[in-house]
């Protein structure tokens, strides 16, 4: 969402045009999607899902079973 705002900010538009773009973006964020939720709520859900996936991947990477698998692969390579 920040990138949407920054895109408007960086665009070569007059101040009045930028203001209209910001109002359009805000109305788009509040508008319902096909799931009867706002675009903003859907974007928040997407961020939460992405954060959950990142945290899961970090957990898996630091788990002891991953270390055992890596040790087994190293020993296979030595053979």
Given pLDDT bands bounded at 50, 70 and 90, which one contains residue 39?
confident
30: Cβ contacts below 8 Å, ≥ 6 apart: 38, 39, 40
pTM for the whole thing?
0.53
Given pLDDT bands bounded at 50, 70 and 90, which one contains residue 69?
low
Q: How many domains does the chain have?
A: 1
Residue 70 sits at φ, ψ, to 5 deg, of: -65, -40
Print the domain residue range for 70. 2-78
Mean pLDDT of the 15-24 span: 94
Alpha-carbon distances, residue 52 vs 20, 29, 31, 43, 74 (angstroms):
35, 23, 26, 14, 30
Question: Per mean pLDDT, which range of 12-21, 30-39, 48-57 is the poorest?
Answer: 30-39
The per-residue pLDDT for 8 is 94
């Amino acid at each position: 969402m920040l990138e949407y705002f920054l895109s408007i900010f960086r665009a070569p538009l007059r101040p009045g045009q930028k203001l209209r773009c910001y109002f359009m973006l805000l109305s788009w964020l509040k508008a319902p999607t096909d799931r009867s939720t706002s675009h903003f709520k859907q974007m928040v859900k997407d961020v939460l899902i992405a954060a959950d996936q990142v945290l899961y991947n970090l957990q898996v990477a630091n788990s002891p079973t991953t270390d055992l698998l890596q040790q087994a692969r190293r020993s296979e390579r030595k053979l």
